[in-house]
Structure 1
């Protein structure tokens, strides 16, 4: 905790230009790694994306469908990262149970569920259009 209090006294200086892009990339990778380490759902969704994104590239679907299929998988990861961030903030601010904290976490979970539903519909319709029609 002492390390964090020392950082509060030091004003943060925003980097600029290429340095800013490199710092932002480093922080993004750090966030993905932390989420991958602590969130089982993110690991499962990442595994799914690693399998299905290459599959989408090789399936004989229309280019628009291919893009939608890949973007729908990336959407799941994006929403899961936001949900994990939300859960971390809620846990930090409200370590004890609070009804509003539970509501915030439930809303984050619902967002993930909707992203999974969207991806499922996109994939089902794309595969249906390609192989059944």
Structure 2
């Protein structure tokens, strides 16, 4: 009797373990879960804030598992290319994207807190209108895109959006991490930004799209540009 009761739980846990072993995005989300919880404990989030954080994290993990399940079923039913199969996969991936972006926004709001948001607003408002955050951020995107394209052109492999001498994903990831560090001036948020950028780079390495050297070049390029635009 006890074995029958525990069997569904064991099957469900087997699904979680299988997803963790076979889906790199699932591993990324689970790593982010651990880091988010540790940061929440470090900055003493209230019980209500921790509940909100855990709820958003669980939504992301559940969405990723549904996405993986839908992809598996579609591949089983339609192993060859079909527009409807592509549509189903794209919709599932879009659901994960929306859930993840919402969770990131909620997480940043929780980690920064009301006082920190007000402080950042005052800092931005006190700056010269010509060098406020948004223009510098847009300038950084354009400059970094140009530098990445030039860097990829210097190599002998890859395309603008995949592969190449400089990893664009690592460059933009560490550029945004640098922006978060210099604007928020919050240790917990800064560590989370660096962790997310590192996970983006790790995913590109795991997919064998870039080497460690190419990822390091991209990360260095993005980090230096953030220093130039937001720290000097």
Q: Same fold (TM over 0.5)?
A: yes
Q: Which residue of 1 aligns with 2:7?
A: 23
Q: Which of 96, 102, 106 is the equivalent residue of 2:90?
A: 106
After the TM superposition, which parts of structure 1 deviate over 6 Å for at least 4 consecutive aligned residues? none
Kindly indicate whether residue 61 of structure 2 is the aligned counterpart of residue 74 of structure 1. no
Aligned pair in 2 of structure 1 residues 78, 37: CA closer, same or farther (>3 Å)?
A: same
Instruction: With a CA cutoff of 8 Å and minimum separation of 6, indicate the structure with the bigger relative contact order.
Output: 1
Q: TM-score, normalised by structure 1?
A: 0.79
Tell me, yes or no, if the aligned pair for 1:56 and 1:70 is still in contact at 8 Å: no
Give the paired residue count.
117
The TM-score, its normalising length taken from structure 2, stands at 0.47
- Taking the TM superposition and a 5 Å limit, the aligned residue runs for 1:61-100 are 61-100=45-84
Structure 2: state its 5+ residue gaps: 119-232
8 Å Cα contact 2:78-2:85 kept in structure 1:
yes
Contact map agreement 1:36 1:43 (CA 8 A) in 2: yes
- Rg comparison, structure with higher value: 2
Q: Deviations over 1:20-75 (max 9, x none)?
A: 44111111111011111111110111111122123223323332222111211121
**CA RMSD, 1 decimal:** 1.7
Please tell me whether the aligned partners of residues 79 and 112 of structure 1 are also in contact (alpha carbons under 8 angstroms). yes
Tell me the secondary structure at the aligned position of residue 45 of structure 2.
coil
Structure 1 residue 124 and structure 2 residue 79: aligned?
Answer: no
- Please list every run of 5 or more consecutive structure 1 residues that lacks an aligned counterpart in the other structure: 1-16
CA distance in 2 between counterparts of 1:20 and 1:121 reads 42
Moved more, 49-58 or 86-95: 49-58
